[in-house]
Amino acid sequence: MSRFVSLLMLLFLILSNQANSRAAEKTLDIKSEAAVLVDSETGAILYNKNSDERLFPASLTKIATAIYAIENGNIDDIVAISPRAVKEEGTRVYLVEGERVPLKKLIQGMLINSGNDAAVAIAEHIDGSVEKFAVNINKYLTKKIGVSNTNFTNPNGLYNENHYTTAKDLALITNYAKKNPVFTEIFGTKELPWSGESWETTLLTHHRLLKGEIPVEGITGGKTGFVNESKHTLATTAENEHIKLTAIVLKGDRSKDTYQDTEKLIEYGLNSFQHRIIKQDELFKMKEKEYYAKSDIVITEHVNGSKESITEQGTLEVVNDGEVIQSIQLEVKEPERVKVKVKEEKLLTSEQSSINIIYGIIVFAFAGLFLGVRKRLVKRQ
């Protein structure tokens, strides 16, 4: 009896721990205005707070500028620094007019030290002017990356009422950029010796989690941002052996808030989610139809399991805590009509052959009868 009671108590503790864990996940107490946590590889949205709200990104804009420049320029190009770039306000890497700097070095100065002057120099080099850059990068972000709620007017994130984005769009941009090895290298750089005509120093990332000032396991990259109108913004990537994450936090009243929010999001994601592979031959049934994936698909699921369901349109939905975190369109499995058709053709062929044989016998019989009658007539004559 005592053993039975012990087992019941153990079961109760396990269930209550899981319930408490799930409850804690729902109440992460994110203080910033908007936040999103996304699986960097599958795109699954693991946490969402106002992620579609239009807000000012400040220097998180430079993530977009960096990947745009890497894909549309040559990182070995030498860039001549213009008067406009030198005069740009805010954080700088102290470029000098006429100074000639490799494009990659400018991207490094822009991402690591948040150089606004470097961002303008990049925009002018790629598109000739900041104004033309704004037109082209918005087209690029929409068509190439698939953002739906973003409009940039400059390459560095200085305030403009028409310069806005969302946490979800920034996560899309960061996930796309992370696929590029040049961007990933720079985005994860903690420090870099810098030698310019007016400035000899070592650039240090402003991101305290990446730098290690706030110890959080698994941090792989990051970018900070601040202007008065945007308040504090933060983009962070992290990973462990199970999953890679992107966390975007916008409009924190204090820098401390954005870091605490990000720490909660990253720890939640790394501890709570993992990948599972849906095999190509795995079938899902909805009413009278069966669905399948054309190839193996990676989905994100909770370590304690997530619910999977199929819509009437054949979309596989992965659900965690009542929220759809990932949607995948499957292919409908058609009935094996080809085999039936082959059998029908074989049957028709067999029937046709039988009919042909019968006709042949009849024709042969008539021919024999005709020849016999003819012979008799010949003999009588």
In a domain, 126, yes or no: yes
- Asked if pLDDT for residue 339 goes beyond 60, the answer is no
pLDDT at 329: 81
Buried/exposed code over 102-141 (b: 16+ C-beta within 10 A; e: otherwise): ebbbbbbbbbbbbbbbbbbbbbbbbbeebeebbebbbebb
290 and 152 housed in the same domain: no
Marked catalytic residue, from 49, 62, 178, 244: 62
pLDDT at 309: 80
Marked catalytic residue, from 32, 82, 114, 272: 114
**Non-local CB neighbours of 34 within 8 Å, separated by 6+ positions:** 49, 50, 51, 53, 55, 166, 167, 248, 249, 250, 251
Residue range 218-230, pLDDT digits in tens: 999 999 999 999 9
**Lookup: tokens for 125:** 């080099």
261 and 286 housed in the same domain: no
106 and 72 housed in the same domain: yes
Distance CA 237, CA 37 (A): 10
Of 272, 300, 322, which one is at a domain's C-terminal end?
272
Amino acid letter for position 227: V
205 and 322 housed in the same domain: no
Distance CA 194, CA 191 (A): 9
Under the banding of pLDDT at 50, 70 and 90, the label for residue 2 is: low
**Lookup: tokens for 122:** 């990049």
Does the pTM surpass 0.85? The reply is no
Distance CA 217, CA 224 (A): 19
In a domain, 85, yes or no: yes
140 and 162 housed in the same domain: yes
232 and 179 housed in the same domain: yes
- Asked if pLDDT for residue 303 goes beyond 60, the answer is yes
169 and 300 housed in the same domain: no
- 3-state DSSP call for residue 327? strand
Of 203, 238, 272, which one is at a domain's C-terminal end?
272
270-279, 286-295, 333-342, 343-352: lowest mean pLDDT where?
A: 343-352
153 and 230 housed in the same domain: yes
| Mean local confidence (pLDDT), 81-87 | 97
Residue 303 DSSP symbol: T
| Mean local confidence (pLDDT), 82-108 | 97
Amino acid letter for position 24: A
120 and 196 housed in the same domain: yes
pLDDT at 292: 72
183 and 137 housed in the same domain: yes
pLDDT at 344: 46
Marked catalytic residue, from 32, 51, 59, 230: 59
- Asked if pLDDT for residue 189 goes beyond 50, the answer is yes
Amino acid letter for position 89: E
Residue range 116-159, pLDDT digits in tens: 999 999 999 999 999 999 999 999 999 999 999 999 999 999 99
The CATH number of residue 118's host domain is 3.40.710.10
Distance CA 368, CA 361 (A): 10
Active site residue 272: no
Active site residue 62: yes
164 and 260 housed in the same domain: yes
Active site residue 198: no
Number of domains in the chain: 2
286, containing H or E segment: strand 284-286
Residue percentage of the chain with pLDDT more than 90: 66
Amino acid letter for position 120: V
Tell me the residue range of the domain where 287 lies.
Answer: 279-332
Under the banding of pLDDT at 50, 70 and 90, the label for residue 366 is: low
Interhelix angle 61-72/116-127, nearest 10 degrees = 40
